[in-house]
Structure 1
Amino acid sequence: MQLDKRAQTLLKALVERYIADGQPVGSRALSKISGLDVSPATIRNIMSDLEEMGFVASPHTSAGRVPTPKGYRFFVDTLLTVQHIDESAVESKLHPTLRASPQRIITNAAQVLSSLSQFAGVVMTPKHESVFQQIEFLRLSERRILLVIVAPSGEVQNRLLLTEVDYTPAQLTQAANYINQHFGGLHFNEVRARLQNELRQLRDDMTQLMHAAVEAGSDAMADTADEVVISGERNLLSVSDLSSNMTSLRKLFEMFEQKTSLLQLLDVSSKASGVQIFIGGESQLVPMDDMSVVTAPYEVNGRIVGTLGVIGPTRMAYERVIPIVDITAKLLSNALSHS
């Protein structure tokens, strides 16, 4: 929707003032802070038009106005000027040591998002598609075999197989070589289907071993299904917009405990590029009207594997939070790609 320059200037001034102090903004205040050389009557008329178009609303208890979700959306999409954030300061917190594990780096990312925004930081851990690059069998003892699964990302999963046959090391090497040569890089479900037809020429006991490996490997990858790392939930308890009544508090804690709606939102944002802003009251994915979530996907070796973001009130300083999320996503991508 098109707004003329004066209307945009007043809306920008109103949103910024409301974010700063949380009080409805009146025409008198707008005439002082907007910098427009117009009469108070003209400002009142423009604000009345903005209200009619749904960009602002008038609380019953005040003569001033507050931004609506539609007003916030226009503000962040059109009027916002983001702040400069020092990347080196973020990077030092995110990846303090060269030996940090991927999980440690992801946890650090959630903490960085929380500490810099003063809200809650959230990271959806890398998606694990049940795909393997290669496997290896290690004979531990009679009828006990360690299955080693290497994912395309380089992540390693181990599973213990208890077999009916005591396989020799040579047999285990033969079985691993066959699977890696014919099925490496495929989804375990694809391997399961193809095993039915392609292993008839092998001995039954070798077929049993390979079937056991596929089932155990599929389970191992499923065990590392999507999870969410959250930091700074307590910060939101001090945000009156989110914790002002028991209903809001209940929704807040349900979101963090169940994580279902949060995972759904993060999964949606992983399919988009760059920073996404979900504003409560506008997006059905956000469980509370007074909540916004700023997200960005992150990559490992050029492939999107997860999403991170900041959860806070709709009355947040978007000009700070957006670059915090954007830079953290880029630095996390770089850190995980080289970890």
Structure 2
Amino acid sequence: MLDDRARSLLNTLVERYIADGQPVGSRTLSKASGLELSPATIRNVMADLEDMGLIVSPHTSAGRIPTPKGYRLFVDTMLTAQPQMLSGGAMPEALSAVREQLQPDQPQRVIAQAAQMLSSLSSFVGVVTAPRKTSVFRHLEFLRLGVQRVLVIMVAPDGDVQNRVIFTARDYSDSELVEATNVLNAHYANLTLEEVRERLKAEVDQLRGEIAVLMQAAVQAGTEALAETQEQVVVSGERNLLGVQDFSDLGSLRKLFDIFEQKTELMRLLDTSSRAEGVRIYIGGESRVVPFEELSVVSAPYEVDGRVVGTLGVIGPTRMAYDRMIQIVDITSRLVGSALSQR
């Protein structure tokens, strides 16, 4: 619980430190805050803020810097920036460049361009997950390849085609494969693979045993095929972090670059973000995925035709201009969704 005076001084301290990167002293706070307070009063408030874990004195410096807890309070209660709509915002020139570059001809190209632009606009690291593929099939077909070998062809509503070879316990004739194809397309088309799997369990007694087994194998094959091509994380601008003065621990940087390389942990973080509405901010290791006190993540989901299909964001130091990062991430998420919806 902070009174107005303490809130004002903390707000000023965080803003000055973000802008200058230097510990903020009492004299600077007195001038920058506009409050008519004595140096002794400011020092007492600073001591209280330090006792609360909101600021800390680095080494022997007389000044203070925010802690992750201080940044969190600043972001949650003091930050006045709001995500900007596409028609407004503080970066019209950058927005024009973003619109021009995000051409909806190829989704993977849009994702790569978005990651590069997030990195360029923020001067930090841009991360984007590719759109999740739908598990709904519009058409499915079986083709006999040889003894106990069947090709499963699955066509999604957007025209995407997945092929998978399955090995069966017994050999199926062409007529049996045609029968299974017809049953699946007549009764299960436009359902998700999960829905098909559940219905097959309930309706197995109504289907001929051999056909039911083949259809269940097809559903499993389709699920595996989608998993192999599922979300990929595109990362851009990792080297930007090498120039950030806040990072002096090379060991932490190596661990961070390992995360960028492996991408599995990033997927977990961005998957969590995709279930939240709007821009989400993780500060100083709150994510447990990028567990570094010096790092923050600003992320947002993006939608295609009204459905959340992926997430994007910026990874940088805790000393970042959060109001600007929120705008960059929010606007880019809207533009990516708009570009992909035009396909």
Deviates more, 1:40-49 or 1:294-303: 40-49
Identity %: 58
Unaligned runs of 5+ in 1: none
Mark the CA change 1:202 to 1:41 in structure 2 (over 3 Å): closer, same or farther: closer
Mark the CA change 1:9 to 1:141 in structure 2 (over 3 Å): closer, same or farther: same
Preserved CA contact (<8 Å) 1:136 1:173: no
Preserved CA contact (<8 Å) 2:256 2:290: no
- Write the distance in 2 (CA, Å) between the matches of 1:329 and 1:125: 12
**Corresponding residue for residue 84 of structure 2:** none
- Write the distance in 2 (CA, Å) between the matches of 1:337 and 1:13: 42
**Corresponding residue for residue 184 of structure 2:** 179
- Write the distance in 2 (CA, Å) between the matches of 1:191 and 1:172: 18
Preserved CA contact (<8 Å) 1:142 1:166: no
Does residue 1:167 correspond to 2:174, yes or no?
yes
**Corresponding residue for residue 28 of structure 1:** 27
Query: How far off its partner does 1:61 sit?
Result: 1.6
1:79-137 residue CA offsets vs partner (Å, 9 max, x unmatched): 224372323332222x13x42x11111111111111111111011223346x2232232
- Equivalent residue of 2:239, what SS? helix
The residue type paired with residue 65 of structure 2 is: V
- Equivalent residue of 1:91, what SS? helix
Preserved CA contact (<8 Å) 1:278 1:286: no
Mark the CA change 1:238 to 1:162 in structure 2 (over 3 Å): closer, same or farther: same
Deviates more, 1:328-337 or 1:155-164: 155-164
Query: How far off its partner does 1:202 sit?
Result: 5.9
Preserved CA contact (<8 Å) 2:16 2:24: yes
Does residue 1:288 correspond to 2:287, yes or no?
no
Q: Pick from 211, 218, 225: which aligns with 1:213?
A: 218
The residue type paired with residue 261 of structure 1 is: E
**Corresponding residue for residue 69 of structure 1:** 68
Deviates more, 1:264-273 or 1:323-332: 264-273
Unaligned runs of 5+ in 2: 82-88
Preserved CA contact (<8 Å) 1:280 1:314: yes
The residue type paired with residue 16 of structure 1 is: E
Preserved CA contact (<8 Å) 1:124 1:307: yes
Q: Pick from 303, 306, 312: which aligns with 2:310?
A: 306
**Corresponding residue for residue 90 of structure 1:** 98
Does residue 1:40 correspond to 2:60, yes or no?
no
**Corresponding residue for residue 147 of structure 1:** 152
Which residues in structure 2 correspond to 1:1-339 (within 5 Å)?
Answer: 1-4=1-4, 6-82=5-81, 84-86=90-92, 87-93=95-101, 95-96=102-103, 98-99=104-105, 101-128=106-133, 131-137=135-141, 147-151=152-156, 155-160=160-165, 164-165=171-172, 167=174, 174-192=179-197, 194-195=199-200, 198=203, 206-207=211-212, 209-242=214-247, 244-339=248-343
- Equivalent residue of 2:174, what SS? coil
Mark the CA change 1:272 to 1:154 in structure 2 (over 3 Å): closer, same or farther: farther
Cα-Cα RMSD = 2.8
Query: How far off its partner does 1:182 sit?
Result: 1.9
- Write the distance in 2 (CA, Å) between the matches of 1:152 and 1:307: 22
Preserved CA contact (<8 Å) 1:296 1:308: yes
- Write the distance in 2 (CA, Å) between the matches of 1:315 and 1:153: 42
Query: How far off its partner does 1:291 sit?
Result: 0.3
- Equivalent residue of 1:54, what SS? coil
Mark the CA change 1:220 to 1:283 in structure 2 (over 3 Å): closer, same or farther: closer
- Write the distance in 1 (CA, Å) between the matches of 2:306 and 2:158: 11
May I ask how many residue pairs the two structures share in their alignment? 331
- Write the distance in 2 (CA, Å) between the matches of 1:281 and 1:216: 38
- Write the distance in 2 (CA, Å) between the matches of 1:181 and 1:9: 66
- Write the distance in 2 (CA, Å) between the matches of 1:26 and 1:128: 53
- Equivalent residue of 1:12, what SS? helix
1:4-54 residue CA offsets vs partner (Å, 9 max, x unmatched): 1x3233222211221122211101111222222333223222222222222
Query: How far off its partner does 1:323 sit?
Result: 0.4
Mark the CA change 1:60 to 1:146 in structure 2 (over 3 Å): closer, same or farther: same
Preserved CA contact (<8 Å) 2:21 2:319: yes
- Write the distance in 1 (CA, Å) between the matches of 2:31 and 2:318: 25
Deviates more, 1:328-337 or 1:249-258: 249-258
- Equivalent residue of 1:17, what SS? helix
TM-score for both structures, normalised by structure 1 = 0.86
Preserved CA contact (<8 Å) 1:255 1:287: no
- Write the distance in 2 (CA, Å) between the matches of 1:273 and 1:235: 28
- Equivalent residue of 2:252, what SS? helix
Mark the CA change 1:179 to 1:140 in structure 2 (over 3 Å): closer, same or farther: closer
